[in-house]
Amino acid sequence: MPKMPPDFSDANTILNYGAEAQARVAEFSEIALKNLKAKDLGEVSEKISELIVHLKDTSGEKSARGWFHKPTEALKIRYQKACTAVDRIALSLQGQRDLLMKDIEMLDLLYAMNLEQYKLLTEYLEDGRAALEQYRNQTALPKQKEAEETGSPADVQAARDAMEQCERFEKKLHDLELTRAVSLQMGPQIRLLQNNNTVLAEKIQSSVVNTIPLWKSQMVLTLGMENSRAAVTLQEKVADITNALLLQNAQKLKDTTLAVARESERRTIDPGILRQTNTILIETLDEMLKLREEGRRTRAEAEEELRRLDCEIRLRLMGKTCETHGS
């Protein structure tokens, strides 16, 4: 917290006013960049996708040749390989979840530190505005009035120096206001990143707790069914395969014939697609018009601001303030 009001007679005091709080805000940003990585669904989704591949590999359909080569033993081998891979992936996912939880704790600390600095910057601004108002009314304006009455070059210079100190300190307060705005924005940004990490941690936990136990229970059921099927005679297997092949070929023939017929009747260009592309084109043109109009409005506002700043500079060069000019 600021210990004492700024000394307007000391240029270094004005220069360093609130500098500590500004440096802390910059330090927080550096900490966030060095210690926190932006987490997204990419890496976690890759692990989960790899897990799903291994699960599907153990439940794939068997070919006709597979029926005659001890399917139960082959299935056990596939499950054993999949178990090793799945356990490795689950361990990796758990490690990523632990890292996410550490990041969430660090973000809590970072949020509290940022909130403390925001309050400190607010105190600097409030104290600074009060000190500036007091210096202007009790020192700068009396000196200016004295210079106008005496016309002494020394008094004129002293009045100008006092007004320049006011202007420098006003700029310093504006700089502190910008720093406080940065600190204000960091709060919701930290919470957003924290929420993303929480969502990812929950997704990982769901995969580890639900998917893997479910898969292992299904493995037991599948192996039990395979042991039951092993008791069926070779003739029954051959009959089943034959019937399945006949039905499969008939279905494929039907699907192929219908697909060829549909393709032959299909139009080269779908009218529905033309309507969609036309709608997209119209929306694009409308958005371009909106952006151009917004650009014109922004430039007009910027030009008005530049004219106002130019007017203020001219008044300062003539030794007048905005209040004097208005009156």
How far is Cα of residue 40 from the mean position of the Cα atoms in its chain? 9
The rounded distance, in Å, linking the Cα atoms of 110 and 183 is: 11
Cα 322 to Cα 75, 161, 313: the distances in Å are: 87, 17, 10
pLDDT (0 to 100) of residue 62 = 46
Angle formed at CA 266 by CA 265 and CA 267, multiple of 5 degrees: 120
Among 52-61, 102-111, 134-143, 153-162, name the one with the lowest average pLDDT.
52-61
294 pLDDT higher than 70: yes
pLDDT of 99-145, one tens digit each?
Answer: 888 888 888 888 888 888 888 888 888 888 888 888 889 888 998 89
- Cβ–Cβ under 8 Å, residues 322 and 315: yes
The arithmetic mean of pLDDT across residues 238-256, rounded, is: 82
Q: pTM score > 0.85 for this model?
A: no
pLDDT (0 to 100) of residue 40 = 47
The rounded distance, in Å, linking the Cα atoms of 244 and 267 is: 36
pLDDT of 140-152, one tens digit each?
Answer: 899 889 988 888 8
